Chain A
Amino acid sequence: MSSAAHHGPNDYYIPESSPWPIVAMLAVFFMLSGTALTINEVGIGAWMILAGFSLLVVMFYGWFGQVIKENLSDQYNEQVDRSFRQGMFWFIASEVFFFLSFFGSLYYIRMIALPWLSGEGYLAESQLLYNQFVADWPTAGPEELGGRFKAMGAWGIPALNTLILLLSGATVTWAHWGLKEDDQKKLVWGLAATIGLGLLFVVFQVYEYRHAYHELNLTLESGVYGSTFYMLTGFHGFHVTMGAVMLMAILVRAIKGHFSPHNHFAFEAVAWYWHFVDVVWLGLFVFVYWM
């Protein structure tokens, strides 16, 4: 390693200039402006989304490929590793607050706004406008937007999905043990199992949505219940999908033998993410389905 001479243990690795951030910026820009046009029924929007998404894929491939290359060529020291870890940690922290905004809204609607509409609490006079409204949860509001519907029960698929996700949390930890023991087989199978469970979760959720739309008449338009239900579960499902894709990338790298017991930040980052998604689901299960 020629670099070793120049990079002592205390020296920090400063990457060369890189084209990927700009590509990422363009990808985001095209995807978002494409979406803005599409939802307003402007034709080229869809093409822009496609272009942006392709750029995004290329960007991830290129950027992470670069990082992997640098890592494999031993240019990173412990400090760099710490930076990555802390970065991932704070990223997840910001995601937590993103979900909190939805949970907070659910709380506000159920505990504050709906009682007002049905004539309790500080703005009880609101009863004046919607005479007979009684705010039982679930509700589609005083005007029953979206028509009558049935709520999603907690103990069918959702309970099953809880088990699936908890199990996948266990398998990913098992894989981590394998990694630490330098047991390639345990690592690969643990990861594969986690991905399988994650995908199973998504499949069940898709099934659940279809069921809700076709049999329960529970849609996005079903008042606040429909809104909060789909917003929370939808964003969570999206995160599970992302997590599964990331796990697949890790699986490929694990098969290629990229990780060593001491150097596997990428694995851990994805595992943290997966646990985070897990914990969010527990919140969902309790507050969206159960209570």
Chain B
Amino acid sequence: MSTATIDLAHDHDHEHHGPPKGLKRWLFSTNHKDIGSMYLIFALTMLFAGGVSAMAIRLELFLPGLQLLDPDLYNNLVTNHALIMIFGAVMPAAAGLANWMIPLMIGAPDMALPRLNNLSFWILPAAATMLILSFIVPFFPGGGTQINTGWTIYPPLSVQVGMSMDFLIFALHMLGISSVLASINIIVTIFNMRAPDMKLTQMPIFVWTWLVTAFLLILVIPVLAGGVTMLLFDRHFGTSFFNAAGGGDPVLFQHLFWFFGHPEVYILILPSLGVLASVVPTFSRKPLFGYSSLVGAMIAIMIIGMVVWAHHQYTIGMSLGAVSYFMIGTIIISIPVGLMIFNYMATMWRGAMTFETPMLFAVGILLMFSFGGLTGIMLAVVPADMQYHDSMFVVAHFHYVLMPGAIFGLFAGVFYWLPKWTGHMYDEKLAKIFFWVNVISFNVTFFPQHFIGLAGMPRRIVDYHVMFTEFNVLSSIGAMVFGLSHLLFLYIIIKTVRGGKQAENKVWEGAKGLEWELSSPPPFHSWTTPPKLAAS
């Protein structure tokens, strides 16, 4: 055992005098704060990458006609826009928040499995490389065709695509591995690493949202992996899972995809709703309203969310019984989601509110996510979805729940905790400008899409009839402003990281929770001895 002793003597310097130096600190990290930061930086990079695709999409749709992109390239951009945003930006950003905050919030020294944690992160850049390869391979001679299937990669179209589709399939495998490993880690951390006297029912709601999210990930990601594996076999090894001639069914893939895909949308939104549970009480200076009903609602979302997937497939030809079931199940989701929204509204009610940037984003979520959710309920109504399905109305719905739902939640979290992470206050004035530009241009971009959808414009088309011109122009102009506004976000972040007013330990007047008892920024190793909870 002497070898270990030598290592340890050497360890101690690091453990008590801060992080390892140089590249090694990041590549080999086992520190939840460093890994959390890497997750966040990666996510921000991907937000911009996905955003560049979005800008290209909107430029093409600016006017009718084929201006910039040929059709396959357009569809390829749509595909990688969606995948990069969902798997590259939103999920990693939420995982970054989890990494940073869960140990701080539950009084743990680190994640339960720190080396695994590093692996879950580092698989992401590799997966992103693979995803980007799938995009650029067709530009090389012999690279085959572009991926023109959208992120849902439905066969048989995805069987027609060339080599790039295989890269995409493997990218999805790697993204899946990363998410499952991260989820295992989070679950174990939450079950096993809480401060000794913290009961599950005393955990901050953010931790709860991640517990539920991690469960969802473990249950549904493997099904996606199974589905794309079958697709790979159909493409290359002559199987007929999705081929009617051999007795299979293309729709089977859709069931597998959406069995993953629908829970996935709650995976995207729950951590962001969890952030609200920290932000709203702080700036309302009032305890969180309805802790246990929030927990109950989340669990209900998890359970109901797993059994309503086919509302994405109303048009495939399902029996009356099946569509009725999926319709009612989907509509019922409004109960737990509505309860969560209600609890946040009730937390604000009769509070003493101030409107720092995190709170602005929180209010933005309450209003605009609710709107997106309500259009979701409209989509859930089967006969009406015969019209909405695969039209721009759906695109409007999901950007309302994704941007001002998921991403605003992440923005709120970043502004809320940024002073804690960096030890510097961000520039409140700039941040407020960012919020207002962001919110207004977002609505200019996506509100008109409801109308063109209703009027009959399908989604995923590179070229459209002139009757849809006006709103598309408006939408594209909004999108440019919206895109550019994120440069301001980047600037604020960089500025804060590099300096600024020293933040206090308890950054916000009304803030509660263990994370505010540590210094800002917290020491490299925090809670090396478990904290005692204040008697509550």
Q: Do chains A and B touch in the complex (CB under 8 A)?
A: yes
The reply to whether B230 and A105 form a contact with Cβ atoms under 8 Å apart is yes
The reply to whether A90 and B247 form a contact with Cβ atoms under 8 Å apart is no
The reply to whether B247 and A36 form a contact with Cβ atoms under 8 Å apart is no
Verify if B201 is at the interface (C-beta below 8 Å from A): no
The reply to whether A40 and B166 form a contact with Cβ atoms under 8 Å apart is yes
A4 to chain B, nearest CB (A): 10
Contacting residues, chain B, for A287 (C-beta < 8 A): none
The reply to whether B1 and A220 form a contact with Cβ atoms under 8 Å apart is no
The reply to whether A22 and B122 form a contact with Cβ atoms under 8 Å apart is yes
A127 to chain B, nearest CB (A): 12
Main secondary structure of the interface of A (DSSP, over half): helix
Verify if B353 is at the interface (C-beta below 8 Å from A): no
Q: Mark A1-43, 1 if CB is under 8 A from B, else 0.
A: 1110010001110111111111011101100110111011010
Contacting residues, chain B, for A29 (C-beta < 8 A): 126, 129-130, 174
Contacting residues, chain A, for B229 (C-beta < 8 A): 231
Q: What's the interface size class on B, roughly?
A: 35 or more
B123 in complex: contacting residue of A16, A25, A75, CB < 8 Å: A25
A79 in complex: contacting residue of B123, B177, B192, CB < 8 Å: B192
Query: Which segment, of A135-143, A168-176, A177-185, A250-258, faces chain B?
Result: A135-143
Query: Which segment, of B75-83, B233-241, B344-352, B504-512, faces chain A?
Result: B233-241
Contacting residues, chain B, for A116 (C-beta < 8 A): 249
Q: Complex: how many Å from CA A87 to CA B111? A: 12
Q: Complex: how many Å from CA A141 to CA B249? A: 10
* Those of B151-168 within 8 Å (CB) of chain A: 162-163, 166-167
Verify if B532 is at the interface (C-beta below 8 Å from A): no
Verify if A221 is at the interface (C-beta below 8 Å from B): yes
A156 to chain B, nearest CB (A): 24
How many A-B residue contacts, CB cutoff 8 Å?
265
Q: Complex: how many Å from CA A3 to CA B221? A: 40
Query: Which segment, of A96-104, A159-167, A193-201, faces chain B?
Result: A96-104
Quick one: given A102-B226, A139-B247, are A227 and B530 in contact (CB under 8 Å)? no
Query: Which segment, of B5-13, B44-52, B277-285, B456-464, faces chain A?
Result: B5-13
Quick one: given A87-B184, A143-B245, are A11 and B528 in contact (CB under 8 Å)? yes
Contacting residues, chain B, for A3 (C-beta < 8 A): 4-5, 8
Quick one: given A22-B122, A220-B239, are A73 and B1 in contact (CB under 8 Å)? yes
Main secondary structure of the interface of B (DSSP, over half): helix
B122 in complex: contacting residue of A25, A72, A96, A121, CB < 8 Å: A25
A97 to chain B, nearest CB (A): 4
Contacting residues, chain B, for A131 (C-beta < 8 A): none
- A93's nearest neighbour on chain B, judged by CB, is B218
B244 in complex: contacting residue of A32, A35, A82, A142, CB < 8 Å: A142
Verify if B3 is at the interface (C-beta below 8 Å from A): yes
The reply to whether B11 and A16 form a contact with Cβ atoms under 8 Å apart is yes
Q: Complex: how many Å from CA A225 to CA B246? A: 9
Q: Complex: how many Å from CA A63 to CA B28? A: 12
* Those of A211-230 within 8 Å (CB) of chain B: 219-221, 223-228, 230
30 pairs of residues in contact across A and B, judged by CB atoms under 8 Å: A1-B1, A2-B8, A11-B529, A12-B108, A15-B114, A17-B20, A20-B115, A21-B119, A24-B119, A25-B125, A28-B177, A36-B170, A39-B232, A70-B4, A72-B1, A86-B191, A90-B187, A90-B218, A94-B222, A98-B222, A100-B222, A101-B223, A101-B227, A113-B248, A113-B251, A139-B247, A141-B245, A142-B245, A220-B239, A226-B239
Q: Which 9 A-B pairs give the minimum distances between C-beta atoms? A: A101-B226, A141-B247, A73-B4, A227-B239, A17-B28, A21-B119, A98-B222, A141-B246, A223-B246
Q: Which residues of B line the A interface, CB within 8 A?
A: 1, 3-5, 7-9, 11-12, 14-15, 20, 24-25, 27-31, 108-110, 112-116, 118-119, 122-123, 125-126, 129-130, 133, 142, 144, 162-163, 166-167, 169-170, 173-174, 177, 180, 183-185, 187-188, 191-193, 196, 218-223, 225-227, 229-230, 232-234, 236-241, 243-249, 251-252, 255-256, 259, 317-319, 322, 525, 528-530
18 A-B pairs besides A145-B238, A231-B230 with CB distance below 8 A are A6-B12, A14-B114, A17-B29, A19-B27, A25-B122, A25-B125, A29-B129, A72-B4, A83-B192, A90-B218, A97-B222, A98-B223, A101-B223, A104-B256, A122-B318, A145-B243, A227-B230, A227-B241
